[in-house]
Homo-oligomer: A and B are copies of this chain.
Amino acid sequence: MIIEPDFEKAGGLVTAVVQDAATKELLMVAYMNRDAWMKTIETGNATYWSRSRNELWVKGKTSGNIQLVKEIRFDCDADAVLLLVDQKGAACHEGYRSCFFRRITGDRFDIVGERIFDPEVLYRK
């Protein structure tokens, strides 16, 4: 038997927070339905539910930037999960190591993240 998070609380999805297992850097936030959860457990590769594309999304399947899951935690309500991962390449489709590469100060953005690849090259047809 596999323990499950609480998918009912927010309409079938739980929030998944993804940290680098070694540095604790926050890499991204995504969402999981039960299929994504089961696939993550079974394969060890982080798999999400894409809210914009409405489909299962094996992270890195297109880009090669996969996430190997090292540890999983639940929060107190079990409606959010933490994945501690070994991130290959970069988590962000814009080429940054972390999706959280913009620092906000009042009306200003500063880019504080490290860019690993150029998305125009990686995702070129």
Which A residues form the contact surface with B (CB < 8 A)? 1-3, 10, 15, 17, 19, 23-26, 28-29, 51, 71-77, 80-82, 92-94, 96, 99-109, 112
Contacts and interface: CB of A to CB of B under 8 A. Distances in A.
Number of this chain's copies in the complex: 2
The 6 A-B residue pairs with the shortest CB-CB distance, nearest first, are A24-B24, A75-B99, A73-B100, A29-B80, A72-B104, A1-B107
Contact of A25 (B3, B10, B24): B24
A73 B104 contact: yes
Given A72-B103, A100-B74, A26 B26 contact: yes
Nearest to A72: B104
Nearest to A96: B76
